[in-house]
A and B are shown apart, each in its own frame.
Chain A
Amino acid sequence: MTKRVLVPMESYRLAEAAVPLSCYICGVDNSYSTELCRHCAAPLALSHQARTQGVRPQMLAVLGTAAAGKTVYLGMLLDMLTRQNGRVQVLARGAFSITLQQRTMMALAQCQFPEKTPNEPDRWNWVHCQAKINNKKQPMELIMPDMAGEAILEEIDHPNAYPAIHSFLDKCSAVILLADTDRIERGGAEQNYFLMKLITYLSEQDGRRNKGKKSTRPVAIVFSKADRCEPCFDNPELYAKEKTPNLWQQVQQRFVNYGFFASGVAGSVGFREERGEGPMAVPLRIEPRGIVEPFEWLVRKV
C-alpha cells in the first residue's frame, strides 16, 4: 500500500539557483553556489556581500614587488583600524575578511613575518570592509586583496595573464604602491623600475578613458620598511626625488592625485639561521609607524 504524503515543491529554490551570479571583480557569470569565480578565481562571497549591502564597494589595490611587505602592511592596517576609534574606523564584512589580519598578527606575535603569499589567485586573501571617516556622513564599502608580487609583475608584463589582477586594476578606485626601502638602500634599481612599470600600466588604463589626460585616480607611494632609513620618514617626497628620481618624475607627469609616505611595522629586524632553511628574518619588536596615514589620505580622495 502506498501512503499518501504531501511534499512541498519549494521550486523557488531552483529558481534562485538558476540565476547566475556575476563575479564582482571580472563580471563573468557563475553558478549561484560556486565558491570561486571560474574565470578569475576571486571569491564569489564578494558578490554575495555586495548584493546585500546595496552600496557598490570601491576597490583599493595594494601593489608592490615580491617581499615588499604587502601582506604585513595590509594585515597591520586592518588590525589598527578595527581597534582604534580614531579618525578612520573599519568594520570587516564577512568572516573571510578577517583571515589576512589574523594571519599577519599571529605570525608577528610569534616573532615571524607571515609566509609568502602564494601565486595562485584562489589562495589570496580578500578583505571586504566598511570604512568610516569622521568628517564623512556616508561610510565607504571597500574591497582590498592581498596579491602575490610575482603575479602582479607577470600581469604588468603580459596583460591578462592573471584575469583577477587585470580586472581589479582596471576597476580599482585608488592604489597604494609599496616601495621596499631596504632594497632601495642596498642600491638595487629593481624597485624603481617595477614601480615605473606599474605607474605606466595604471595611467594607460586611465588614459583610454580620459583621452590622454592625466589620471585622477589617487595613488599613494608608500616606502615600506622605512624603519631601516630614518630620513625617509622625515620627508618621503624628498627621499623619492633623491633615491627614485624616475619614479618621482613619472608620478608627477601622469597623475593628479598623488602622495608620498613612509611606513614601517618592525622596529628592528634580526636574522635567525634555521637548519636546512637558511637565514630567516625575525621582527624583534613591533613598532607600526605611518600605516594609517596613506590609507586615510586615499579614502578621503576617493
Chain B
Amino acid sequence: MPAGTVPVEQAIFTSAQTMNKDGYQLVAWSPGISAEDARVLAVWGPAHDSMIADDPSDVSLNFHPLRDGKVCISRTMLGSAEYSGRGGRQVYTHCFVLNKASFARFHNDPFRVLSAALAIHDLRPGPELPTDLPTMMMLPSGPPVEPGLIRFFDSPTQQQTMVTWFHLALTSKKLLFTGNYNDRYLSVFFNLLPVSIRPLFPFSTRLRYSPRREFRLIGLANDTEEQKKAARQEGCTVFAFDSPARTPELSRHPWATWVQVALCQREPDIAAKLIGELPLSTRLEDLPSIGNRLRVTLSGQRRKEADASPAVSLPPVALERDTDREELLRLVERSLDGDVSALERLSSAWGCPEDSRMESLREDCAKHFVSLSRKRQGTGDSRSSMALEILSLILRTSP
C-alpha cells in the first residue's frame, strides 16, 4: 500500500440483466465489500425513477452510515436505457464505502472522498458495466477545515442563507431543502462543522424522498410534488433556498451565530484553526457552548488586533471620531439591506462606555432606522425579523 493512502471500497448499483438476476442489483463490487454491506447497499440503492430530474447530466450526491461504523458516500446519475424495454434510463449509483478509521483520515468529510474519487476515476456509466471492481487507494490531504471554503460565501445574502441553514440543520430532526441550491452549500456546511460531528449528518440531494432512506438533510430541488410528499412526513422542517427566512439572534443556535462571525471574517484562517482544533470527543450537544466560546474568543482576538494596529483595513467602528455618525448610519442602512457583516459591526459598535455623545448617536441611529423603515414599507420590502434585530441592537433591548 503506498504511503499515506487509504483503502476505499466501491460498488455499483444499477439495473441490468446478469447471471444472478434481472433488474436493480449490485452489479460489481470490490473485495472489501462484505455480504452484509452488499445487502444493505442493495436495499438502500436508488432504483427506477428515483432521480427527481429526468436529466442525464443531473447528479445526486448521498452520504449515509452503514453498519459497524462504516459509511457510504455515493454518486447517482442516469445511465443508458433500461434493459427491459419499458422506457426510461437506468439509475446508476457508484458507492464508496469506508470504515471509521479511513473516513477519519478524510476528516469525516464526504466531499473530500468524492473529490478524491473524481480525481482518480470518471464516475459516469460506461457502455459496458464492470463485473468486478478493485479497492481504490486514495490519498487524503488538507487541514480539517479549509479556510478557502469559508471565503467562498462573501455576499451578504449567501452568508445569511448559510447561517439560517446552520440553525435549521442543527435544530431539526430532518431538514428538507428546496429551491436553487448547489452542492457547495453542503460542502461549506461540512467544512464548518467540528470533525467529530460531521458523520451525524447523512444527506441526499436530487433524489426523490423515501422514508426508507434515513437522511437528516434532504435536497428536493424545485419539485413541488416531492416537497409536498416529504413535508407530510413527521418531524420534517423545510428550508427554501430561494427565500430563506432570517433567524433572530437570540433564538438562533449559538453555533449558527458563530458561523455568521466566521463567515464575516476577511481572514478566515483563525476561524478555520479554531474549528479544526476542537477535540474529536466533541458531541452535538456541546455545540451551543462551544459556539459561544469560539465567538467570544474570536471577538477578543479582533479587539486585541484592533488595539495593536488601529490602521487595519476594517477597523471596528470607533465612536470617538467625528465620522462615526455617518459610518453608523451607513451600517444601519446596510444591515437593513440584509448585510450580515454590517450587522456584526453594528453590534460591536456599542461596546464603549455610555456617555451623552453615545446616547445622541443612539438616538440618531434610531431616527435613521425609523425613516428608512417607513420608506421601505412604501416599497413593500419587509424584513421584519432583521429590522427587529437592528432596532434591538440600537436600543440595547431583546427582540
Whether A associates with B in a native complex is yes
Please report A residues at the B interface, Cβ cutoff 8 Å: 31, 34-36, 38, 41, 65-67, 112-123, 148-150, 153-154, 158, 161-162, 190, 194, 271, 274, 276-281
Which of the segments B46-54, B139-147, B334-342, B376-384 contacts the partner chain?
A: B46-54
CB atoms of B210 and A112 under 8 A apart: no
- B40 nearest in chain A by CB position: A161
Picked from B81, B86, B88, B212, the residue with its CB within 8 Å of the CB of A120 is B212
- A162 nearest in chain B by CB position: B43
The CB with the most chain B CB atoms within 10 A, among A31, A116, A277, is that of A116
- A119 nearest in chain B by CB position: B47
Closest Cβ of chain B to A272, distance in Å, is: 9
CB atoms of B84 and A67 under 8 A apart: yes
The CB with the most chain A CB atoms within 10 A, among B82, B85, B210, B211, is that of B85
Q: What are the residues of chain A within 8 A of B86 when measuring CB–CB?
A: 67, 113-116, 280-281
Q: What are the residues of chain A within 8 A of B81 when measuring CB–CB?
A: 274, 276-280
- B39 nearest in chain A by CB position: A158
24 inter-chain pairs at a CB distance below 8 angstroms, sorted by A residue, are A36-B211, A41-B211, A65-B22, A65-B23, A66-B21, A66-B84, A115-B87, A115-B88, A116-B49, A118-B49, A120-B47, A148-B23, A154-B42, A161-B39, A162-B43, A190-B21, A190-B22, A271-B85, A276-B56, A277-B81, A278-B82, A279-B81, A279-B85, A281-B86
Q: What are the residues of chain B within 8 A of A162 when measuring CB–CB?
A: 43
- B45 nearest in chain A by CB position: A119
Interface residues of B in 47-78 (CB under 8 A from A): 47-50, 56
Q: What are the residues of chain A within 8 A of B42 when measuring CB–CB?
A: 154
- B232 nearest in chain A by CB position: A35
What 10 pairs across the A-B complex have the smallest Cβ distances?
A: A278-B81, A66-B23, A119-B47, A281-B85, A67-B84, A120-B210, A150-B23, A116-B48, A277-B81, A150-B24
Complex Cα distance, B21 from A194, in Å, reads: 9
CB atoms of B212 and A122 under 8 A apart: yes
Interface of A is mostly: loop
The CB with the most chain A CB atoms within 10 A, among B22, B25, B48, is that of B22
Q: What are the residues of chain B within 8 A of A114 when measuring CB–CB?
A: 86
Picked from A35, A115, A194, A276, the residue with its CB within 8 Å of the CB of B48 is A115
Complex Cα distance, B87 from A113, in Å, reads: 8
CB atoms of A38 and B211 under 8 A apart: yes
Closest Cβ of chain A to B142, distance in Å, is: 36
Complex Cα distance, B42 from A113, in Å, reads: 26
Complex Cα distance, B42 from A98, in Å, reads: 30
Picked from B49, B88, B233, the residue with its CB within 8 Å of the CB of A277 is B88
CB atoms of B210 and A123 under 8 A apart: yes
Picked from B43, B84, B88, B208, the residue with its CB within 8 Å of the CB of A154 is B43
Closest Cβ of chain A to B53, distance in Å, is: 15
Interface residues of B in 78-119 (CB under 8 A from A): 80-82, 84-89
With A66-B84, A274-B87, A281-B86 given, can you name 6 additional A-B contacts, CB distance below 8 Å? A38-B211, A120-B50, A161-B39, A276-B56, A276-B81, A278-B80
- A277 nearest in chain B by CB position: B81
B122: interface (CB < 8 Å): no
CB atoms of B50 and A118 under 8 A apart: yes
CB atoms of A277 and B210 under 8 A apart: no
Q: What are the residues of chain B within 8 A of A149 when measuring CB–CB?
A: 22-23
Closest Cβ of chain B to A78, distance in Å, is: 20
Q: What are the residues of chain A within 8 A of B22 when measuring CB–CB?
A: 65-67, 149, 190
Q: What are the residues of chain B within 8 A of A112 when measuring CB–CB?
A: 87
Mask: chain B, 30-44; 1 = CB below 8 Å from A; 0 = not:
000000000100110
Q: What are the residues of chain A within 8 A of B84 when measuring CB–CB?
A: 66-67, 116, 281
Complex Cα distance, B260 from A286, in Å, reads: 63
CB atoms of B39 and A280 under 8 A apart: no
B285: interface (CB < 8 Å): no
Mask: chain B, 233-260; 1 = CB below 8 Å from A; 0 = not:
1100000000000000000000000000
CB atoms of A121 and B212 under 8 A apart: yes
Closest Cβ of chain A to B87, distance in Å, is: 5
Complex Cα distance, B82 from A274, in Å, reads: 11
Complex Cα distance, B82 from A240, in Å, reads: 29
Complex Cα distance, B21 from A251, in Å, reads: 22
Complex Cα distance, B235 from A31, in Å, reads: 12
- B21 nearest in chain A by CB position: A153
Complex Cα distance, B56 from A130, in Å, reads: 43
Closest Cβ of chain B to A180, distance in Å, is: 9
- B43 nearest in chain A by CB position: A161
- B212 nearest in chain A by CB position: A120
Q: What are the residues of chain B within 8 A of A116 when measuring CB–CB?
A: 48-49, 82, 84, 86, 88
Q: What are the residues of chain B within 8 A of A115 when measuring CB–CB?
A: 48-49, 86-88
Closest Cβ of chain A to B190, distance in Å, is: 26
Complex Cα distance, B24 from A274, in Å, reads: 21
Picked from A36, A119, A271, the residue with its CB within 8 Å of the CB of B24 is A119
Complex Cα distance, B21 from A38, in Å, reads: 30
The CB with the most chain B CB atoms within 10 A, among A34, A119, A149, A278, is that of A119
Picked from B43, B48, B85, B212, the residue with its CB within 8 Å of the CB of A280 is B85
Interface residues of B in 172-221 (CB under 8 A from A): 208, 210-212
Q: What are the residues of chain A within 8 A of B43 when measuring CB–CB?
A: 154, 158, 161-162
Q: What are the residues of chain A within 8 A of B21 when measuring CB–CB?
A: 65-66, 150, 153, 190, 194
Q: What are the residues of chain B within 8 A of A38 when measuring CB–CB?
A: 211, 234
CB atoms of B234 and A34 under 8 A apart: yes
CB atoms of B89 and A277 under 8 A apart: yes
Q: What are the residues of chain A within 8 A of B48 when measuring CB–CB?
A: 115-119
Complex Cα distance, B84 from A279, in Å, reads: 9
Complex Cα distance, B20 from A194, in Å, reads: 10
Complex Cα distance, B31 from A193, in Å, reads: 27
Q: What are the residues of chain A within 8 A of B212 when measuring CB–CB?
A: 41, 120-122
Closest Cβ of chain B to A160, distance in Å, is: 10
Closest Cβ of chain A to B378, distance in Å, is: 33
Closest Cβ of chain B to A114, distance in Å, is: 8
- A117 nearest in chain B by CB position: B48
Closest Cβ of chain A to B15, distance in Å, is: 8
- A67 nearest in chain B by CB position: B84
Complex Cα distance, B22 from A277, in Å, reads: 18
Complex Cα distance, B232 from A278, in Å, reads: 37
Q: What are the residues of chain A within 8 A of B23 when measuring CB–CB?
A: 65-67, 148-150, 153
Complex Cα distance, B287 from A122, in Å, reads: 35
Picked from B47, B80, B211, B233, the residue with its CB within 8 Å of the CB of A118 is B47
